[in-house]
Homo-oligomer: A and B are copies of this chain.
């Protein structure tokens, strides 16, 4: 019988630039080799100093124009920050959907002001979420002597479906995709188009425990036993193959 356990790591303090996330986690949780840690982007970004203060931003013309088209009437300086984080604007009416420098398509380029102290403070996505995941994985090996997988996650909206779900941005120490093409199903037929995205399913599972207002930005997933090494980039559909970009 397959059993999987999800354990929320609670009691983390407000994370500040320069904080040792590995230390904050390993001092609050007993990790085991084979665990996958899902860590909310917000705490990773804070520890890496990926913060912008609106008072340091000057909104350009495009940002002012876009801000006026959006339902949430955001501060034009926030729109400027979003544009700075993005390589392409997909939609800028009602809501702002952009493609980030990493290739992620999401609302507001991953820029957010919830769960950040101070009215003028914004968080950006990590510069390189795969590198963030790798660093944390290395640090946990150092501190706790365990070999764990790490996912850096954020909640994204989707076309066609309502509500946001947690997805994987950065991955280390586990496969992001699982290619079953060519393997055989229970009825003995070859599976033709089945590439699973376990890293996204892990992030979503962890999202259940994280909630959005509970301070449980780190969730341990135990019992999966995935072998392999993938990256968050594996999950980005190349623009040329994307029918909806």
Contact = CB atoms under 8 A, between A and B. Distances in A.
A52 to B, nearest CB: 16
Tell me which of A159, A192, A211 has the highest count of chain B C-beta atoms within 10 A of its own C-beta: A159
Contacts of A237: 159-162
Contacts of A159: 105, 159, 237, 242-245
A54 interface: no
Contacts of A57: none
A242 B161 CA distance: 9
Interface string A203-245: 0110111011111100000001000000000111100001111
B195 A201 contact: no
Nearest to A36: B208
Copies of this chain in the oligomer:
2
A146 interface: no
A147 interface: no
A16 to B, nearest CB: 13
Contact of A243 (B10, B95, B191): B95
A194 B212 contact: yes
Contact of A162 (B97, B177, B186): B177
Given A185-B115, A205-B208, A162 B5 contact: no
A215 B91 CA distance: 42
Contacts of A212: 180, 185, 191, 194, 196
Contact of A3 (B8, B91, B166, B177): B8
Contacts of A186: 14, 115, 213, 215
Given A160-B105, A215-B186, A201 B207 contact: yes
